[in-house]
Structure 1
Amino acid sequence: MSHTMQWRSLWRLGLLALMLALGLALSQGALAQQADPGREAAFAVPAVDADLWRQVKAGETGPNYRDSRAESTYNLVNASGETWRQIRERWISPFGAIAVLGMIAAIALFYLLVGRKKLDEPRTGRKLLRWSLVVRSLHWTVATLFILLALTGLNLAYGKTLLRPLFGDGAWAAMMSGTKLIHNYLGPLFGILLVILLLRLLSHNIPKAHDLQWFAKGGGLVGKGHPDAGFANGGEKVWYWLLATAGLAVIVSGFVLDFPNYGQARDTMQWANIIHAVGALGLTAVALGHIYIGTVGTEGSLEGMTTGYVDETWAKEHHNLWYEEVKESAVPEEQIAQAKGPSGSSPQGSS
């Protein structure tokens, strides 16, 4: 009896040792598969080979290898996605960075060499109403939204390369989440307000013959004297029509990307992304020049968009044709200050 029990114990120990050996062998196989992704894929899907992938890419393998989305006719491997990636990574991203950084460098160089454009004559102290309160409110709202969209757009384009290594994955992920939220929700609002502003300013930006002279004289940088200009000069009209063309293209493509549930195909989304990126990066670069000229670059320009009024001297030097039309309506600065009263707003400026 004791011998029988002894043999049973030995048999159980042998069986346990065999199970441990098999477990170790299986674990080594799993580790080997993890170390070799190709072997793991071959083990999981042994029928997939290079010939099959070529068939999948060409759409020759039937419905089992097609996109699972409803009514989709795309193959499991979509070559257009790689084309879109190549255009974005090889052309749009590098040349967009060159355009924006190049504009910043050009502005800095121009400021160092030429400096701020000051008024040639002393101020008269008499003011002309240039921008109404409605237009100023629209302008500053659109400008603020533009800056927010430009910053968030640049983060979407370059943040992974520049900010992720700097802040780490956690902070970068939170930053990108907020970036996409701001960009996606403020974009449609910017588009609507920009169209309203463009319609409001259309009558001032119709091209005229004297605009060619303005360009020939480089806006006053070439030769003596200031070229003729109406309410808007040639440079301002170029900026207006850039917003009215490239800006509208950015808005339309942005709507296509923001609302992907209206039946647009994948190729449409890819082209919308390319148009959106090219237009937005180009407008951002040009906007830097517009911001410079309208603030520190030209004496007297910023106060027109902050207070609504400009000095007679500024009007004569920069927009002489417009000045001839409205010079009889000039009022002393003191009168404007009295009309504003305690509220700080002018009746004229609210028109």
Structure 2
Amino acid sequence: MSMSITHPGAARRLLTLLVLLTGLVLSQLALAQQADPGREAAFAVPAVDAELWRQVKEGETGPNYRDSRAESTYNLVNTSGETWRQIRERWVSPFGAIAVLGMMAAIVLFYLMVGRKHLDEPRTGRKLLRWSLVVRSLHWTVATLFILLAITGLNLAYGKTLLRPLFGDGAWSAMMSGTKLIHNYLGPLFGILLVILLLRLLSHNIPKAHDLQWFAKGGGLVGKGHPDAGFANGGEKVWYWLLATAGLAVIASGFVLDFPNYGQGRDTMQWAGIIHAVGALGLTAVALGHIYIGTVGTEGSLEGMTTGYVDESWAKEHHNLWYDEVKDQAIPEDQLAEHRQGSQGDEPAPRSG
């Protein structure tokens, strides 16, 4: 396994900056959590105090504060809403930040300690078709929507704590209006396209016995040689099934939040919000690892999703079982370039993905 560390000085400065930013964000979140837990509610509804909560729990409050499940009288102050707020502020938000920032720090440390994974053997100059144009188009559309939704979702979750003090109420409110609009309208489109992509890739992601050996060898980081892998290796299959489970839960809960006019009550909306936040923050953290491995982390991986083709050496090293199935379809690079210059298509060989 050939690894290299490039520009260690710059990488160390990047790591230092990341650690400082991580400390800043976590300190802000910690301060927010240590503040008076009733501050947010008190700002929205003045005079929310222990006496009022006693009245709410005992049913002594008037119509403006009644703790009822009737749609017309389920008003601002209620024990269910306070439970939701506590879960969101004390657990989901801080641990979500730790997961995302922790993954960022882990990636930087891994790059500094291990470096980029280069190919063990020189490139042969012969190409194998890995991803069709349809799959690549779906992938990049879904990936772009995912990034936009992640950025806007993080802004919705943490913008009030981090950005409002920096930019002031006016700029922050305009930013949040745009964020909410983007998130709400792109979410359903992302959900539909993700389901289509998952169905398209299902046959490549059925778990196999050799996937256990892939995990035992840490994807090639443990021991000598590379573990067996078919079209998709064990790590790629885990990412696929996370999208097919947690991803679909995020989509379903997002639809509940996006369309609150189909009979769901406030309790349903509150739990949908918790499920949506937990799933989205978890997927965002894992997606950072997926992006790293598929771009700067591994030589040759990004080429497959940009051009559709991978070099024989890459296929043999990372997906040897798939390579054995399609190696007779390899095309010389110059022949592939001539084909692209003379036609509109980019798939002279039988489709592999």
TM-score between both structures, scaled by the size of structure 1: 0.82
Q: Which residue of 2 is the match for residue 263 of structure 1?
A: 263
Instruction: Give the structure 2 partner of residue 187 of structure 1.
Output: 187
Post-superposition Cα deviations, 1:84-140, rounded to whole Å, max 9, x if no partner, equal: 111111101110000000000000000000000000000000000000000000000
Structure 1 residues 62 and 90: CA distance shift in structure 2, 3 A: closer
Cα distance change, pair 224–73 in 1 and its aligned pair in 2 (3 A): same
- Tell me which residue corresponds to 2:176: 176
Higher helix share: 1
Gap change, CA 1:135 and 1:71, over 3 Å in 2 = same
Moved more, 163-172 or 92-101: 163-172
> Do the aligned residues in 2 keep the contact of 1:128 with 1:329 (CA within 8 Å)?
yes
Aligned to 1:285: 285
What one-letter code is carried by the residue in structure 2 that aligns with 1:288? L
* Residue 161 of structure 1, CA deviation: 1.0
Amino acid corresponding to residue 152 of structure 2 in structure 1: T
Q: Do the aligned residues in 2 keep the contact of 1:58 with 1:75 (CA within 8 Å)?
A: no
Q: Counterpart in 2 of 1:150? A: 150
Give, in whole Å, the separation in 1 of the partners of 2:195 and 2:91.
Answer: 29
Deviation at 1:166, TM superposition (A): 1.2
**Alpha-carbon distance in 2 for matches of 1:311, 1:58:** 71
Label 1:52 to 1:132 Cα distance change in 2 as closer, same or farther (>3 A).
closer
Distance in 1 (CA, whole Å) between partners of 2:51 and 2:77 is 13
The answer to whether the 8 Å contact 1:56/1:75 transfers is no
Query: For residue 197 of structure 1, what is the amino acid of its counterpart?
Result: L
Q: Is the 8 A contact 2:129 2:308 kept in 1?
A: yes
Q: Which position in structure 2 is the counterpart of 1:29?
A: none
CA–CA separation in structure 1 for the residues paired with 2:282 and 2:131 = 27
1:64 CA displacement: 8.3
Listed as ranges, the gaps of 5+ residues in structure 1 are 1-36, 43-48
Q: Which of the two has higher C-alpha Rg?
A: 1
Is the partner of 1:298 in helix, strand or coil?
Answer: coil
1:206 matched to 2:206? The reply is yes
Query: What letter matches 2:93 in structure 1?
Result: S
Q: Aligned to 1:190, what secondary structure does the other structure show?
A: helix
Aligned residues: 307
Cα distance in 2, alignment partners of residues 257 and 237 from structure 1: 29
- Looking at structure 2, the residues matched to 176 and 261 of structure 1 have their Cα atoms a distance apart, in angstroms, of 23
> Which residue is equivalent to 2:336?
336
Question: Counterpart of 1:341 in 2: which secondary structure?
Answer: helix
Secondary structure at the aligned position of 2:117 is classed as coil
CA distance in 2, matches of 1:80, 1:141: 38
Q: Which amino acid aligns with 2:147?
A: I
Task: Provide Cα deviations, 1:29-53, integer angstroms capped at 9, x if missing partner.
Answer: xxxxxxxx9xxx99xxxxxx98787
Q: What amino acid is the match of 1:240?
A: Y
Maintained 8 Å contact 1:229/1:319: yes
Report which stretch shifted further, 335-344 or 168-177: 335-344
- Report if aligned partners of 1:103, 1:286 keep a CA contact under 8 Å in 2: yes
Percent pairwise identity: 89
Map 1:240-319 onto structure 2 (within 5 A).
240-319=240-319
**Alignment CA distance shift 1:250-1:65 (3 Å):** closer
Q: SS of the residue aligned with 1:154? A: helix
Aligned to 1:321: 321
SS in 2 for 1:296: coil
CA distance in 1: counterparts of 2:153 and 2:279, whole angstroms: 12
Q: Are the equivalent residues in 2 in contact too, given 1:80–1:267 (CA < 8 A)?
A: yes
Structure 1 residues 311 and 215, CA gap change in structure 2 (3 angstroms): same
What TM-score, normalized by structure 2, do the two folds share?
0.81
CA change 1:276–1:71 in 2 (3 A) is closer
Please give the alpha-carbon distance, in whole angstroms, between the structure 2 residues aligned to 1:218 and 1:133. Answer: 31
Shift of 1:275: 0.3
Q: Residue 246 of structure 2 contacts residue 283 of structure 2 at CA under 8 Å; is this kept in 1?
A: yes
User: Bigger shift: 68-77 or 331-340?
Assistant: 68-77
Q: CA deviation at 1:55?
A: 4.3
**Mapped partners of 1:335, 1:204: distance in 2:** 28
Question: 1:85 and 1:135 mapped to 2: Cα distance?
Answer: 41
The 8 Å contact of residues 56 and 79 in structure 2, kept in 1 or not, is answered as no
Deviations 1:200-242, CA, capped at 9 Å, x for gaps: 0000000000000000000000000000000000000000000
Name stretches of at least 5 consecutive residues in structure 2 with no aligned partner: 1-41
1:279-312 superposed Cα distances (whole Å, 9 cap, x missing partner): 0000000000000000000000000000000000
Contact 1:198 1:240 (C-alpha < 8 Å) held by counterparts:
yes
Pair 1:161-2:161 in alignment: yes
CA distance in 1, matches of 2:50, 2:216: 62
